[in-house]
Structure 1
């Protein structure tokens, strides 16, 4: 028996070795990689299709943010950081073309190599790649960055690190990662990890860093000035190593990027009108139509640009924390959605100009279809039918009111749902069988004026059901701490989604986030069906299965009734000084990461 086992074992090893040789034989260094099929841009591409390689260098952009910051390290959980630094101040081995659903091209790496089964990936560094202090980027820097981010960095990096079986230096400029799971997206995910300078952090606690260390990176911009909570200035490095890399042609054209921080959205808008800022995104359609008539707009010094996109709507609204007993019952969550009079609120806030989000992936081919699930979508959902909430298979749509303030029909439906869940109105107060009132805390960040105004209208509606939530306004630092610890009942929620959902979906909706602090799973959902759809998305080799699995995930999320959806931002509204220009060709992602300020330029008329 032992001999037979040994023989079988040798045959298995031989089979694995042959398979490894076969996989290696099909692998060859390439200039780019796509999640499905081949990347759209050829090896000899000269620039991104939505960049202007002839754009002049110079000028500055000054944008505003509501809130504050107390850290310059965007790669750890501690502290509040200007979100833009993660993208503007760091580079990765590969860089993303937002003119495609999901494709990467060489940046710090000159090539990427993967086998057909994507069980490993090997990157070759560019010989000319350097940090801003002139020192070369080494394989040791890359390996240290991946291990540090994966072990003590922000939780968003840990999932992929756990899927790496080995990381090894395979040449002077080569690093190889071998995976311990099947996940076809992993080579792309690893290609987008930020690369840090190992020597800068010798003897320092990376996880505790804040304002004391200005990062040394390879990016075209370096932090040249800042004042905690007030502003950050980034200056273009004239000695930037990558000025001749094809991906960077027509990119990083502005000499200076400055971010100003304000305590209130209205104060920020006044700062734009006064010329303190020279570019401003407006999310309120009514305000865009009625309040952008100040002199600078009238005389042409400020231009209003409407930027469409083809990406999913994502989800914007108010999320309910299902970790709390208050929100465990889906009927309670549906009741709170019924009580939210969107039509009335939309009329009050935007003059009825803003459409409502219908699902997480709406506005794209990945969004769920109306009515019952069919075909491949139904096949994916059926194994979980007993655990799915009403509407996942049959179809789910948000309630629509008559637009009146009273919203009687929907409030009656909400009260009926609450009663089914064990809550009734007793002496004017919604309470359980023991007389304990139904209440919860809505936590908002100071300066979120529009969200607060919406909540004020919502609280009035809830009072008609005998519900009086506590509304708490706190500064941005406290707000981040509470959100990271899931210390809220309901809060404002914004989750952008792409045309190529992948590993980040586990961070958004995965069960680890129920207890692990700092995840993006603010609703605390724990759905084996959702995680199965994500796994199918990650390992689909067929585009039809990928789309069907995403549509199925959309149904699970939407029928889960975790968020009260509000506005659909299918276009961006950007007002900016006339000297700030952008190319006529827009990426399919529109105004998204990698567009402003990346491909904008300054041109005097």
Structure 2
């Protein structure tokens, strides 16, 4: 007995096994770029430096602290900060060392250890240390946006092993992704924030270690970033061919119509066009005729996620899935696409649209293994039907669809009295759709008209962006249009989108107010998937449950980026399949200087 105990003690104290530290880590498989690579393939390593990139954004800002739930942060603040690792845009999910020189993941993925580059410096010349990493993690989780606490939920401990070595230890489980996503942590200077209140907004340009510094700040109007000649990481392989502009500015406009006219007048250099109508007709004029403006699309392989008109399940009215499904029949996508969007879009049917993660057809045997234990908690059609949003004749008056909706409502006990629909317990079906963008009014008004045919009184209320942001943060709405973006490697962020624990947390991305133990379990299956095949299976199973929950009226998607830009801008040939790396563009006027 004693002998067995003595023999067991070394096992209790044995260190966790580690492979040799690496320059990069892939979620599945091996990284594309080997140690000693010179640059990413999708950049021009010889791109000239210099010039100014003038960009725009719509709205306003009142803070340079993007990490907290207070205030509206300025655009472009990511230029100020480096992360431990950086993703490549031509792989689904691989992280390469940036601040970190090496990445050492335990064989059982219970921890990850980063060795920081000794040359890494903040903009004031002070070194980036392991203590800065520890400080950053705790500041974000304890005082930052609630998103961070959810995102890093399974991190049990962060410790500085020495001045340049930091280890993240994880809770027991099978969260394959966590060892990579902690590398996305933006590292903040502990000494700088020791004299400031991290929980409050500020217009003081903050200190970072990134390639740019903020040099001009006009609250709500303009922010300008200057490239740092002394940037410590400018010669790293992951940065070669990137950050080519000397200055990057963001001009603020309160209305996108005004912003478009300003672009055509040469007030800024590049815009990613979100409006199909603008793309079809908005760029006519002398600048386009002279060739001063170039219109170009860039195909991508990114999941487009779900954009939809969201039901707030916190409202008792929307607790009824029959009502939610019936209201979806009032949206005539086919008419909208042809008459408003110039035929540019496709109908979204999946929460992981435009990827292999989207559920199609009936569940596979592997999916059923995850879904069957939850059968009593899921809609029956998860197992028997392939989800497809209603299709119309494109007339704008989808009579056949509205008749289907009327029958559904009638069979569920809804009644029509004086052209007003009432719930089975006699309450009128009426609600408000909250908007902050006038572009969406053209889409929502036909929906409102069709809803009126069903006896539903829906009103549209458009508010300014600050009020919209605040109401959304507090879930003070009946319906609104929202986007649930996705990546090729979904993981911890799914908790923030769908989990019960996020539903009542202000500022969470669970806009729906979804509280469903079955969904919670399906989310955990995604997070703990041990390999790519299991991840695809778990994500498709989650997708099916979300589809058949009828939590949104699915909108539309585009599998390409639409860019309008000034002719003096240049970019590498083609485009990275998993991103839009604008930091690889340059000012071609610098070539001749």
TM range (shorter): over 0.9
The question of whether the paired residues in 1 share the 8 Å contact of 2:412 and 2:424 is answered with no
- Structure 1 residue 14: Cα displacement: 4.5
SS of structure 2 residue aligned to 1:51: coil
Work out which of the residue numbers 488, 493, 507 in structure 1 matches 2:482: 493
User: Partner of 1:104 in structure 2?
Assistant: 95
SS of structure 1 residue aligned to 2:526: helix
The alpha-carbon distance between structure 1 residues 457 and 248, as it changes in their structure 2 partners (threshold 3 A), is same
Q: Which moved more, 1:464-473 or 1:299-308?
A: 464-473
Could you list the per-position Cα deviations for residues 63-106 of structure 1 after superposition, in whole angstroms to 9, with x for gaps in the alignment?
22221111111111111123542x32221111111211111011
The alpha-carbon distance between structure 1 residues 562 and 9, as it changes in their structure 2 partners (threshold 3 A), is farther
User: Partner of 2:382 in structure 1?
Assistant: 392
Q: Distance in 2 between matches of 1:10 and 1:166?
A: 29
Q: Distance in 2 between matches of 1:467 and 1:7?
A: 78
The alpha-carbon distance between structure 1 residues 305 and 175, as it changes in their structure 2 partners (threshold 3 A), is same
Q: Distance in 1 between matches of 2:123 and 2:29?
A: 35
Q: Distance in 2 between matches of 1:546 and 1:433?
A: 41
Describe how 1:197-596 pairs up with structure 2 within 5 A. 197-211=189-203, 213-370=204-361, 372-394=362-384, 395-433=386-424, 435-445=426-436, 448-591=437-580, 595-596=581-582
What is the aligned length?
588
User: Partner of 1:78 in structure 2?
Assistant: 70
Q: TM-score, normalised by structure 2?
A: 0.95
Could you list the per-position Cα deviations for residues 317-373 of structure 1 after superposition, in whole angstroms to 9, with x for gaps in the alignment?
211111111111111111111111111222221133321112111211111113x21
User: Partner of 2:53 in structure 1?
Assistant: 61
SS of structure 1 residue aligned to 2:525: helix
1:138 to 2:129 alignment? yes
Unaligned runs of 5+ in 2: none
The question of whether the paired residues in 1 share the 8 Å contact of 2:304 and 2:352 is answered with yes
1:178 to 2:163 alignment? no
The question of whether the paired residues in 2 share the 8 Å contact of 1:442 and 1:470 is answered with yes
The alpha-carbon distance between structure 1 residues 521 and 160, as it changes in their structure 2 partners (threshold 3 A), is closer
The question of whether the paired residues in 1 share the 8 Å contact of 2:297 and 2:562 is answered with yes
SS of structure 2 residue aligned to 1:350: coil
Q: Distance in 2 between matches of 1:542 and 1:82?
A: 38
The question of whether the paired residues in 1 share the 8 Å contact of 2:512 and 2:551 is answered with yes
SS of structure 1 residue aligned to 2:446: helix
The alpha-carbon distance between structure 1 residues 210 and 470, as it changes in their structure 2 partners (threshold 3 A), is farther
Q: Which moved more, 1:213-222 or 1:164-173?
A: 164-173
Q: Distance in 1 between matches of 2:577 and 2:410?
A: 46
User: Partner of 1:45 in structure 2?
Assistant: 37
Could you list the per-position Cα deviations for residues 44-72 of structure 1 after superposition, in whole angstroms to 9, with x for gaps in the alignment?
11111211110001122222222111111
The alpha-carbon distance between structure 1 residues 373 and 233, as it changes in their structure 2 partners (threshold 3 A), is same
The question of whether the paired residues in 1 share the 8 Å contact of 2:331 and 2:450 is answered with yes
1:122 to 2:107 alignment? no
The question of whether the paired residues in 1 share the 8 Å contact of 2:421 and 2:429 is answered with yes
Q: Distance in 2 between matches of 1:299 and 1:310?
A: 33
Work out which of the residue numbers 575, 580, 585 in structure 2 matches 1:600: 585
Q: Distance in 2 between matches of 1:106 and 1:470?
A: 51
The RMSD of aligned alpha carbons is 1.9
SS of structure 2 residue aligned to 1:222: strand
- Structure 1 residue 299: Cα displacement: 1.6
- Structure 1 residue 139: Cα displacement: 1.5
SS of structure 2 residue aligned to 1:319: strand
Unaligned runs of 5+ in 1: none
User: Partner of 1:17 in structure 2?
Assistant: 13
- Structure 1 residue 292: Cα displacement: 2.3
Q: Distance in 1 between matches of 2:247 and 2:411?
A: 58
4+ aligned runs moved over 4 Å, structure 1 = 6-14
The question of whether the paired residues in 1 share the 8 Å contact of 2:302 and 2:577 is answered with yes
Q: TM-score, normalised by structure 1?
A: 0.93
The question of whether the paired residues in 2 share the 8 Å contact of 1:233 and 1:256 is answered with yes
- Structure 1 residue 433: Cα displacement: 4.5
Q: Distance in 1 between matches of 2:3 and 2:252?
A: 69
